[in-house]
Chains A and B, each alone.
Chain A
């Protein structure tokens, strides 16, 4: 670093500093601070939903379990599914994008810093709302899919399903905010020289996910609004007596719900690509094929939703189409798997913990994929519909396909997040405990499903031959819990005593490793310049471009295709108003659960908060 850079860094420290104290903490717009909060919050929700699963498995370990009564059990499995899908899986994946995408693109900030903070608070408040409701015995009770008529006011009186429906709105607002940020980031904030064919696969994965979120999430929002209005205003969207149709709910829900699986899975593909590339110590094999595969998975995932509805009596011709589409998606998924295997085969793999989790993913996801191909067949699906076979399948796909790569990604990027390494020894042990626990829990469920055990039952009688499999599954769930505890212990220990990481401990090739660990609030003092897909492995590294101001928060905008510098863009300062806007919208969402006039009256504070948020401040470029 030369003297000029040192001066400029001192000024950058002042320019990009957050305000002190609680107000500063709530006002921050640093994507890394917000991203870390997202990750921690999502992991807390994961742990809570996991504990619920543990209670359910305890109940099901032996016949005639009586730990939970049927009503409470309904709330437990509804909360478990809803929290895992809406408050853990999607947010944790997008949170990785919030933290990493700007760094990987060589940008100083996220595209919409205040919107990002607002989205996080909406996610947090949505989670708190549903957990408070659960604690008050008003948790959701109609499953995470909330099928009508089960969730209609006839069968779900009170406010349990209204609260579920509003939780959807909270989390979708948050997810849509991140989607808009990531898509914009991808378009115009890439490092100079980072053409479309040089973008890291993790970023491609995040942008495909962002577009999927924009196309899929409105469906569940429309559906939940229809549900709420049927319950609150007496509309008839799902009432067959007045021209409505319960299956409309299923169409709208699964038009979101199936892409949702890929919204969770595609970011994991991006994580795997980064990990495989670094630990195989060679560029990823078949980059273009990988990008095309991810984009085609994104498209195909919108043509599969009806395979969740094979048992509803839809026309057989339509079913055949969805069977074919469901099998078709195995092709781009297979392309990815073979590209990773080729990368490992041609490289010099180093079997560190992140790569172990990726290898575990291969095994688990292939098993989940195979049972998926089985379920794509209408006769098989009709036989095992609503049984534990489906529970086994979806957990192999979601835990194997998303949670394993995610934990691998934590091991991989933890040094960047915190500046310290996680323990490798504990990490490897952690992997094996989770791998064994996962298989012990979910493999017997295939058999249970084939033996006829329905899902979502609160207890089961003796003498059906389900004893050993249920007991093994319950033992496995405690092993998983042990694995999660080991992970938490490793994180806690490493934060305290972990080996300092340095800038690039894995000798990784992507831009997030070009800056210190953890990165400074402005990410990069000089704007990185990119001349290939693996810039940090380049033989002719560029020292980066100076010229962005250090006395103002500025980021560089570049052209869409070739990433040529276009403009310096003033970033907004930290502000308390995104937080206050989220508080105002939370008041509106909660108010409207009980009184529709909340839509009118609570929009006044909302409008005021957002106006102040957008009102130009003295420090902004236009005010100079």
Chain B
């Protein structure tokens, strides 16, 4: 290993991927914050559950069709997302342009499916605390989905409209990490909202 004072800083690269870069840690920080929000809301879900004899109280469990469709699609959206990330790491501009557009389109489909999922949900938020906490979980997740979708769209426009250097590829890669977060939390929220009432 070189001694610290032997480095010529001018020879260093001007971008990095992953854990060495600033954008990566910013993304990690925001995922920690959002993730903690989910942990607390899920904690509130189980806390409120202990106050009811039946869960859901006075209604059947929420319908599965649109929610499960969304789940399958969000898992499939990982394919273009991972390909976007791989192309970004290879600095393959054409590949990034293709797969980031596909990921963004997957986002459009997911938002539409979410609308159907909301419409099909069988309890209103103002019906009881069960309804309130379920809608809270769904809306929290939906806000993250819309945010990351918008971010993906802006990046997609950017990789077509502007020169793409190592730094931009690194940004695209960081955005792919946040999409993983959307997928993981989707699975978690789905399991809690749709399956906990069926298991308890």
Contacts and interface: CB of A to CB of B under 8 A. Distances in A.
Interface string B129-165: 1111101100000000000001000100010001111
Nearest to B14: A568
Name the residue in A115, A230, A563, A622 with the highest tally of chain B Cβ atoms < 10 Å from its Cβ: A622
B29 A565 contact: no
A527 B30 CA distance: 29
9 contacts: A179-B33, A188-B22, A218-B40, A219-B40, A545-B7, A564-B1, A569-B15, A570-B14, A621-B14
A567 B20 contact: yes
B33 A545 contact: no
Name the residue in B14, B26, B30, B36 with the highest tally of chain A Cβ atoms < 10 Å from its Cβ: B14
A614 B4 contact: no
Given A229-B132, A615-B154, 7 more contacts: A111-B22, A111-B26, A179-B29, A184-B29, A188-B25, A222-B37, A569-B21
B199 interface: no
Interface in A526-571: 527, 529, 531, 542, 545-549, 554, 556-557, 559-560, 563-570
A183 B22 CA distance: 10
A214 B163 contact: no
Given A229-B132, A237-B132, A251-B47, A566 B29 contact: no
Interface in B108-130: 125-130
Contacts of B132: 226, 229-230, 235-237, 244
Given A192-B4, A623-B163, A567 B16 contact: yes
A176 interface: yes
Given A244-B129, A564-B1, A180 B44 contact: no
B64 interface: no
Nearest to B38: A218
Interface string A232-244: 0111110100111
A616 B167 CA distance: 11
A222 B133 CA distance: 11
B200 interface: no
A486 B28 CA distance: 44
A214 B27 CA distance: 13
A509 B40 CA distance: 42
A586 to B, nearest CB: 19
Contacts of B127: 242
Interface in A589-624: 607, 611, 614-616, 621-623
B13 to A, nearest CB: 5
A180 B29 contact: yes
B56 to A, nearest CB: 10
B48 A248 contact: yes
A237 B132 CA distance: 7
Given A235-B125, A242-B129, A615-B158, A547 B10 contact: yes
A98 interface: no
Interface in B142-200: 150, 154, 158, 162-165, 167-168
A246 to B, nearest CB: 12
Contacts of A243: 48, 51-52, 57, 128-130
